Amino acid sequence: MSLVTETSRPTGQEIKAWIATPWAFILLMLVAVAVLDGGRFTTILSFAVAALGSTLPYIVFAVLLIAGLKAAGAEAVIANAFKGRETRMILMAALFGGLAPFCSCEVIPFIAGLLALGAPLSAVMAFWLSSPLIDPPTLLITAAALGWPFAIGKAVAAVALGLFGGFAIKVAMGAGWFSEPLRAIKQSRCGCGPDPFTGKPAWRFWQEPERRETFRSEFTANAIFLIKWLALAYVLEALLVTYVPATMIAGLVGGEGIVPIGIAALVGMPAYLNSYVAPPLLAGLMEQGMSNGAAMSFVIAGAVSSVPAMAAVWSLVKKPVFAAYIGLGVSGAIASGIIFQMLV
C-alpha cells in the first residue's frame, strides 16, 4: 500500500505552475550547464551565489522599508500628491511615483480612482512614467549591482521623465488633443492593500496587531519575491559573462554616439525585464562592453514597457494616449541615455 495519498500528490496544474517559476528556470539552467559543460559549473554557480550574497544587505533593507510603508498605509501620502493645481500635481506625481509602495495589481485601481476623482491626465501620466522606473527596493538593488552613480542617475531620470511626460500631455491637451482620453472606468480592488483614498498613515504601525501582521506578510512576500528574481538574474549574468563574446556586445551597444543608445532602447522595450532582474544583467552587459548611456537607455525603456506598466495604461485610456505613453517613454529613455553618457 502506497504511503503517498492522492491528496498529497501535486496536481498537474501545480506542476505546470512550478515549471513557470524562476526556481524552475534556475534549476534547468544549472542542470544544463552541469550536463553540457561540467567544467564550468562550479565557476558559474560560485559567481551567482557570491553576487546574491553581496546583495543580501540591500535586500534586507529594501524589504524592511517596503513592508513598513505598506503597514503604515503610506498610499494615502501618495494620493495627496494629486491635489491642488495641475502644475503642482505634475511635480508631485513625478516625484512620488518613485516612492509608491504598490504591487503590480494595485496600480490599476489606484489610478482608476484618481481619474474617477478628476485628477488630470497630465499628472497621471507623470506618475505612470516615473513609477515603473524606480522605487526604494529597485534603487537599492540597482546600487548593489551597478553602483550608486548609476542608481542615482536612474532615479533622477525617472523624475525627469515623469515631468517631461506630464507637461507634454498638459500642452497637448491645451491644444485640443486627448479630449476624451479615458475608457470606461470600473473601480476594482485586488485585495492586496488598504484603500489609499481613506484614512491617514499610521507610522507607528507596530502598535496595532493588524498592521503588524501586514508588516510580517509584506516582509515575507517581498523577501521571497526579490530573492527568487535576483537568483535568476545572477545565474543569467553568470551565463552571459561566461558564454557571450564581449566583442559582440561591444559591437552592438558599445562605444560613443547616439546609435548604440537608440539600439539599446529598442532592444530594451520588448525585453520585459522587471526592475529586479535588469540591474544584474546590465552589470554583465557592461562588463562585456555595453556603454553607460546604452545601459541607462535600456533599463528605462524596459521598465516603461514592462507588462504591469503597460497593462495599467492600456486598461484605462484609449489608444492615442497609450501610444503617447510609449512614445514619451522611448524618447525619454534615449534622451536619458545621451545625457547620462555625457555626464558619466
Query: CA-CA distances (angstroms) from residue 81 to 19, 88, 100?
Result: 41, 8, 11
Spatial CB neighbours of 5, under 8 Å, sequence gap ≥ 6: none
Per-residue pLDDT tens digits for 169-220: 999 988 888 777 776 554 444 444 444 555 577 778 888 888 899 899 988 9
| Res 150: pLDDT | 93
Whether residue 237 contacts residue 283, with contact meaning beta carbons closer than 8 Å, is answered with yes
Alpha helices in the chain (DSSP H): 12-19, 22-36, 41-72, 75-79, 86-96, 104-116, 121-130, 136-146, 148-174, 209-243, 246-253, 258-268, 278-287, 292-304, 307-316, 319-343
Positions of the chain with pLDDT lower than 50, given as ranges: 1-6, 104, 186-195
Per the confidence metrics, is the pTM higher than 0.85?
no
* End-to-end CA separation in angstroms for the chain: 69
Burial class (CB in 10 A: 0-12, 13-18, 19+), 241: middle
**Which amino acid, one-letter code, is at 107?**
V
Phi, psi of 163 (to 5 degrees): -65, -45
| Res 18: pLDDT | 74
Per-residue pLDDT tens digits for 221-238: 878 887 888 888 788 878
| Res 84: pLDDT | 76
CA distance 344 to 341: 6
| Res 282: pLDDT | 84
